[in-house]
């Protein structure tokens, strides 16, 4: 079972995950410049220009964020998994991967948010119970996480 087919070399360089976002971001930068230049004769169209710029900023930021953090996160997850496998860590230990537990709070958040948003149409009186359920469920949700010592 432990036979290794090839040694794992530590991954180096820019992670592929980042490259995807860098590619999207670079494309958005280029296309935004073309869009602005092409629209100068008829007046700059701001909504598209800004949307494309936001696309570029988000993608490049996220790519950089991943480049900085992704290997560390992946190593952490891997390490925890290995410790669970070897029995060093109980499966339901706070540090272990959060495995499915039942929780009623997401349903409460959904109902609460649904009533609240429906209140946008039906009126504020309709939203009141919604907000109450939403807040209560959000607190319950957070509390449940805290009890487990995670999140």
Partner 1 sequence: MTLLDERSAGETPPAEPPPHRRQPTGILRWATSSDHKVVGAAYMVTSIGFYLIGGLMGEAMRAQLAVPDNKLIDNGAYNQLFTLHGTIMLLFFLGSFAFGVANFIIPLQIGARDMAFQRLNQVSYWLYLSGGLVVLSGAFTENGAANFGWFAYTPLSDGIRSPGVGGDLWIAGVSLVGVSGILSAVNFITTMITMRAKGMTMFRLPIFCWNMLIVSVLILLTFPVLTAAGVMLYADRQFGGHIFDATVINGVSGVPVLWQQLFWFFGHPEVYILILPYFGIVTEVISAFSRKPVFAYKGFVFATITIGALSVAVWAHHMYATGVVLLPFFSALTMLIAVPTGVKFFNWCGTMIGGRLSFTASMHFAIGFLLCFVIGGVTGVMLASPSLDLQLTDTYFVVAHFHYVLFGGGVFALFAGIYYWYPKFTGKKLHEGWGKLQFWLQFVGFNMTFFVQHLLGMQGMPRRTASYTAADGDLFRYLNLVSSIGALILGASTLPFLWNVYRTWRRGEVVGRNPWDAGTLEWWAPSPPPIGNFDRALPPIRSERPVWDAEHPGHEALAEQRHGTGRADGVVGASASKGGGS
Q: Which of residues 54-73 bind partner 1 (CB under 8 A)?
A: 54-55, 58-59, 66, 70, 73
Find out whether 112 and 137 touch, Cβ atoms under 8 Å.
yes
Q: For 3, how many CA atoms within 13 A lie in the half-sphere containing its CB?
A: 2
Report the distance separating Cα 83 and Cα 91, nearest Å: 9
Binding mask 12-51 for partner 1 (x = CB under 8 A): xx-xxx--xx-xx--xx--x--xx--xx--x--x-xx--x
Near partner 1 by CB under 8 A: residue from 61, 98, 132, 139: 98
120 binds partner 1 (CB under 8 A): yes
Minimum distance from residue 128 beta carbon to partner 1 (Å): 15
102 binds partner 1 (CB under 8 A): yes
The three-class DSSP label of residue 44 is coil
133 binds partner 1 (CB under 8 A): no
Minimum distance from residue 122 beta carbon to partner 1 (Å): 6
Report the distance separating Cα 126 and Cα 119, nearest Å: 5
Cα 68–Cα 29–Cα 34 angle in degrees, nearest 5: 170
**Considering beta carbons, is residue 34 or 139 the nearer one to partner 1?**
34
């Amino acid at each position: 079972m432990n036979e290794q087919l090839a040694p794992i070399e530590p991954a180096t360089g820019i992670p592929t995950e980042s490259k995807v976002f860098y590619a999207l971001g670079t494309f958005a930068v280029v296309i935004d410049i073309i869009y602005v230049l092409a629209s100068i004769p008829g007046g700059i169209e701001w909504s598209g220009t800004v949307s494309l710029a936001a696309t570029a900023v988000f993608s490049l930021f996220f790519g950089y964020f991943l480049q900085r953090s992704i290997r560390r996160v992946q190593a952490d997850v891997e390490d925890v998994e290995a410790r669970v496998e070897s029995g060093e860590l109980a499966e339901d230990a706070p540090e272990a991967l959060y495995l499915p537990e039942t929780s009623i709070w997401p349903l409460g958040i959904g109902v609460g948010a649904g009533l609240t948003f429906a209140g946008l149409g039906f009126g504020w009186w309709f939203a009141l119970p919604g907000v109450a359920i939403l807040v209560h469920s959000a607190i319950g949700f957070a509390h449940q996480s805290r009890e487990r010592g995670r999140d």
